[in-house]
Amino acid sequence: MDMILTIGIFTSLFFFVLLLNKKRKSLPDNILALWMLVIGIHLTNYYIYSNGYWEIYPHLIGITAPFPFFYGPLLYLYVACSLRDDRRLRPPDYLHFLPIAVCYLYMFRFYFFYTPEQKRMVDQGLVDDFGTFANIMVVGFIVSAITYAIISYRLLNRHERLLENNFSNTDRLNLNWLKGFIWGVVLLFVTVMVVLISRDAMGFPYPFNPDYLFYSIIVVGILCLGYFGIRHQNIFTDNVVLEEDGGPSRKSYKKSTLKDELAADKHQALTKLMEEQKPYLEPNLTLNTLAEKLDVSLHHLSQIINQFEGQNFNDFVNKYRVEEFIERAVRDSHFSFLALALDSGFNSKSTFNAVFRKHKGVTPSQYMASRLQKAS
C-alpha cells in the first residue's frame, strides 16, 4: 500500500509542478494543476493515516475528509473552461465548491474545539458525534462524482463539435482521452459504493483491504490525467475560434446577413482556392486562417461550408487531403503511405488512417489495392 501511495503522491506533485511551468498556460491548465495538488495532499494525508501517524498527530485527523468533493467540480470546470476563452473563473464557478465549505463549517468544532483524545475516539468510532454526517458525506461523494461525470461527458461532445467546426487537425486539441478518464471516475465511485454496501451493510468479509483497489485506480487515473493534460493544448491559445455550435442540421441561417448571391460567389471562390492554392496541405489549417484568405467572417465561412458542402470544417478540409493522397499515391507509388499522407496535409499516421476510413469506408491499403486491381 505504501508503494502505491508513494507513487501517487510524487506523481501528482510532479505533474503539479510541470503544469505550473507549462508554456502558454491556459485556465484549464491551472485547474488541472490545482486538481493535481488536491490529489497529492489527499493521498499524503491518507499515507500518514495508514502509517499510524494520526495517533501521534491527532490534529491531522479528518483534515482532508471533504476532499472528494473537489474531484467532480474540478473535472467539470476543466472541461467547461476548455469551451470558454476565459482568463479566470467566473463568480458562479465557485459555487461548485460550496459542499466543501459546508463540510468544513460543520466540522469546525471538531478541528478547533475537540481535544486530541476526543479526536482519537471519534476516529476509532468510540464516539459517534460525526457518524451520520460521515455517511451523508460518502453518499454525497458518490452522487457528486457521478453527476459531474455525466455533465462533463455531455460537455465533451460540445467540445468535439467546436473542434470540428474550427480545426482541420485536432490531435493535440481534443479531449477524447478525458472520456476514458470519466469512465474511470465512475468506475471508482461505483466500486466504492459496492464495497461499502457489501461490507458495511451486508457484512461481507473482504480477504484484502479494499483501499488497495481504490487507490490503485486513483494512481492510474493520475498518470493518465497528468500525461494527457500536459500534452493538451487549449483551443483558444493563439487561435480565433467560432464558439457557436454549428452544423447543416442545426442552422437554418434565416437571420444571416450573408446574401444568397454573395454566398454562392464565395463558395466558388472557396472551391477555386482549395483546388489551386491547396491550403489544406498546411496541417494546422484553421477556419480563421481560411476565412482570412477568402476575406469573409468566421460565421459566414462556416455557413458557406455547411450549406454548400453539407459538412463541418474538419470533414471539408480532410476530404481534400484524402483526394490529394490518392492522387499522390497513384503518381508516386514508390513512396510510403505515411510519407504521402504527411505531404497531403495529415499530421500523423493514426489521424490519416481514421480520416481515410471515415471518408472512403476502407483502409488506405485496401482502397489502393482495389483501385490497382480495377486498373489492371
Give the tens place of pLDDT for each residue, 101-150: 999 999 999 999 999 999 999 888 888 888 889 889 988 988 998 899 99
pTM comes to 0.80
Can you tell me the distance from the alpha carbon of 70 to that of 99, in angstroms, rounded to the nearest whole number?
Answer: 9
* Overall average pLDDT of the 222-229 stretch: 87
Tell me which residue of 251, 295, 252 sits closest to 270, measured CA to CA.
295
HEC assignment per residue over the chain: CHHHHHHHHHHHHHHHHHHHCCCCCCHHHHHHHHHHHHHHHHHHHHHHHHCCHHHHCHHHCCCCCCCHHHHHHHHHHHHHHCCCCCCCCCHHHHHHHHHHHHHHHHCHHHHHHCCHHHHHHHHCCCCCCCHHHHHHHHHHHHHHHHHHHHHHHHHHHHHHHHHHCCECCCCCCCCHHHHHHHHHHHHHHHHHHHHHHHHHHCCCCCCCCHHHHHHHHHHHHHHHHHHHHHHCCCCCCCCCCCCCCCCCCCCCCCCCCCCHHHHHHHHHHHHHHHHHCCHHHCCCCEHHHHHHHHCCCHHHHHHHHHHHHCCCHHHHHHHHHHHHHHHHHHHCCCCCHHHHHHHCCCCCHHHHHHHHHHHHCCCHHHHHHHHHHHHC
In this prediction, residue 364 has a pLDDT band, given cuts at 50, 70 and 90, of very high
CATH code that applies to domain 2-231: 1.20.1070
Task: Write down the pLDDT at residue 215.
Answer: 79
| pLDDT of 251 over the 60 cut | no
Domain boundaries, the chain: 2-231, 315-376
CATH fold, domain 315-376, is Arc Repressor Mutant, subunit A (1.10.10)
Can you tell me the distance from the alpha carbon of 208 to that of 210, in angstroms, rounded to the nearest whole number?
Answer: 6
| pLDDT of 252 over the 60 cut | no
In this prediction, residue 248 has a pLDDT band, given cuts at 50, 70 and 90, of very low
| pLDDT of 37 over the 90 cut | yes
Can you tell me the distance from the alpha carbon of 277 to that of 297, in angstroms, rounded to the nearest whole number?
Answer: 20
Phi, psi of 196 (to 5 degrees): -65, -40
Can you tell me the distance from the alpha carbon of 160 to that of 177, in angstroms, rounded to the nearest whole number?
Answer: 12
Amino acid at 68: P
HSE of 136, CA atoms in CB hemisphere, 13 A: 9
Can you tell me the distance from the alpha carbon of 314 to that of 354, in angstroms, rounded to the nearest whole number?
Answer: 13
